Amino acid sequence: MKTTTKHTIYFKRALYYCLLPMVVLLLCQAKASAAAHPLKVNDTIFINKSQTSKKYKIKIYPSATNEVLFFTASGESGKVYQLYVFDMDGKLVKQTQIHNKETTLLANFVKGNYMFDVFSDDEKIENGTMVVR
């Protein structure tokens, strides 16, 4: 009888020590994925331009539902415009390029603060910040 109880205790301990790390790992993964969710309809995007070009017309604005960000540019014919979006650590998170009088969209932003730069022919045209809440 004591042997059965002793084995049961060892089995419970082994089960506890095997399952506990897996439960902790699953909880950490669930928390990380919840923190890095993409934009939802109720989220808001705020754009603040620091430098505005008079030569080029650059528009960066959210959709009506705040699910995507539009980027459009117009100026000289044949120009190519590059948009770079960085997180606050300076890591490049989005990059796109468009031609004159074109519009593109960027999606799947995670809530947080961002910086952006717009270039054409290695000339910085505009820059600013973006907040996704």
Q: What is the pLDDT of residues 14-40, one digit of tens each?
A: 545 555 455 444 444 444 444 454 545
Q: Do 30 and 9 share a structural domain?
A: yes
Q: Do 111 and 55 share a structural domain?
A: yes
Which CATH number belongs to the domain containing residue 126 in this structure?
Answer: 2.60.40.10
pLDDT at residue number 117? 96
Q: Do 115 and 78 share a structural domain?
A: yes
pLDDT at residue number 53? 78
pLDDT at residue number 28? 43
pLDDT at residue number 70? 96
pLDDT at residue number 18? 55
Q: Does residue 40 belong to any structural domain of this protein?
A: no
Query: How far is residue 104's CA from residue 12's CA, in Å, rounded to a whole number?
Result: 58
Q: Do 95 and 117 share a structural domain?
A: yes
Torsion, Cα 50 53 54 58, to 10 degrees, reads -100
Query: How far is residue 46's CA from residue 66's CA, in Å, rounded to a whole number?
Result: 10
| CA distances in angstroms from 99 to 32, 69, 79, 93, listed in the order given | 37, 17, 6, 21
pLDDT at residue number 32? 43
Q: Do 94 and 58 share a structural domain?
A: yes
pLDDT at residue number 11? 62
Q: Do 66 and 117 share a structural domain?
A: yes
Structural domain range at position 16: 1-35
> Which parts of the chain have pLDDT scores under 70?
1-42
Q: Do 69 and 15 share a structural domain?
A: no
Q: Does residue 53 belong to any structural domain of this protein?
A: yes
Q: Do 31 and 78 share a structural domain?
A: no
**Structural domains in the chain (count):** 2
Q: List the 80-87 sheet strands across, edge first.
A: 45-51, 123-132, 112-120, 80-87, 92-99
Both tokens of residue 79? 């120009």
